[in-house]
Amino acid sequence: MAQRKQPLVVGEYYHLYSRGVDKRKIFLNGQDYRKFLFLMYVCNSEKSIVSRDLGKKFERGETIVDVGAYCLMPNHFHILVREKTEGGISKYLKKLLTGYSMYFNLKNHRQGKLFDGNFRSELVTGDRYLKYLYSYIHLNPAKLIDVKWKENTQRDNAKLMAYCSTYPYSSLNEYKNARSKITNPGEFPNYFVKLADHQKELASWLSFTP
C-alpha cells in the first residue's frame, strides 16, 4: 500500500471510502456482504489474520481503530473511523481489502485488482461535519431506490427512510438494536442517544431541499 501524502493522526476522525476498479461491483450477493462485514470485525486487531484460523473461536484482542459508522454499497463502501493507534487505519484497511480481494477472486475465479487503487481518506474537520457524516453514510442506500433522490423534489421520503432503516449492510442496524459489534460508539460524540434521535436526524436530511 502506497505511502499517503497526508499522514493519518491518532485521535482524529476520518471518512474512508473505496470503490471497485472500473466502478465494478464488489459485492455480488449476500454472502459477499456478510464476508466483508465479518472481515471488518476480525481485521480490527493487532493480530495477523490467518484464514485457516477464522473458522475457529477467534479472539481479536485489542482493536486498532474505532469505527463509528459504515455502509456497504454494491460497488463501494464508506467507513467512519477514529485513528486509535499509530498506523492503525492503514493496517486495518490493508488487512480488510487484501483479505476480501483474495476471497472475492478465489470465489469468482478471477485475478487482478478488485479495488480502485489505495483507499481514500478525508479528515473530519469539525463537529458539524462529523455529525453530517453519520447521516450521509446511513442514507447512502437511498441511492438504490432513487439515484438522484437529493434533486428529486417529488421523492417519497417515507419510502426512502423505510428502505435505509431496514438496509442490512450498514451500521444503522447496530444503532437500532443497541448492540455494537463492528462499531464502537463510545469513542465518538454521543449525538444520538436513542433510536428516535437517529430517525429524527435522518428524516431531517431526507426532507432537506437544496
What pLDDT was estimated at residue 5?
A: 58
Residue 158 contacts by C-beta under 8 Å, 6 or more apart in sequence?
A: none
Cell numbers describing residue 137: 453514510
What pLDDT was estimated at residue 177?
A: 80
* CATH number, residue 17: 3.30.70.1290
What pLDDT was estimated at residue 55?
A: 60
Confidence band of 2 (pLDDT split at 50, 70, 90): very low
Residue with cell 419510502: 159
Domain with 85 in it = 13-207
What pLDDT was estimated at residue 153?
A: 85
Q: How far is 147 from 48, CA to CA, in rounded Å?
A: 39
Domain count, the chain: 1
Any domain includes 5: no
What pLDDT was estimated at residue 24?
A: 94
pLDDT digits (tens, 9 = 90+) for 136-154: 999 999 999 998 888 888 8
Any domain includes 7: no
Any domain includes 121: yes
Any domain includes 4: no
What pLDDT was estimated at residue 151?
A: 87
Q: How far is 40 from 100, CA to CA, in rounded Å?
A: 10
Contact criterion met (CB below 8 Å) for 173 and 34: no
Contact criterion met (CB below 8 Å) for 60 and 50: no
Contact criterion met (CB below 8 Å) for 4 and 121: yes
What pLDDT was estimated at residue 97?
A: 95
Q: Which residues of 144-165 are buried (b: 16+ CB within 10 A; e: fewer)?
A: eebeebbeeeebeeeebbebbb
Any domain includes 6: no
pLDDT digits (tens, 9 = 90+) for 98-122: 999 999 999 999 999 999 988 999 9
| pLDDT > 70: percent of the chain | 91
The SS3 of residue 67 is: strand
What pLDDT was estimated at residue 163?
A: 93
What pLDDT was estimated at residue 32?
A: 97
192 vs 186, higher pLDDT: 186
Any domain includes 2: no
Any domain includes 8: no
φ and ψ of 91, to 5 deg:
-65, -45
Confidence band of 3 (pLDDT split at 50, 70, 90): very low
CA distances (Å), origin 86, targets 89, 105, 126, 179: 8, 30, 22, 27
Cell numbers describing residue 200: 429524527
Q: How far is 207 from 210, CA to CA, in rounded Å?
A: 10
pLDDT digits (tens, 9 = 90+) for 38-76: 999 999 998 877 666 666 566 788 999 999 999 999 999
What pLDDT was estimated at residue 59?
A: 76
What pLDDT was estimated at residue 1?
A: 43
Q: How far is 143 from 190, CA to CA, in rounded Å?
A: 27
User: What mean pLDDT, rounded, does the chain reach?
Assistant: 88
CA distances (Å), origin 72, targets 11, 60, 109: 24, 22, 23
- 196 has a pLDDT exceeding 90: no
Q: How many CA atoms lie within 13 A of 135 on its CB side?
A: 19
Any domain includes 1: no
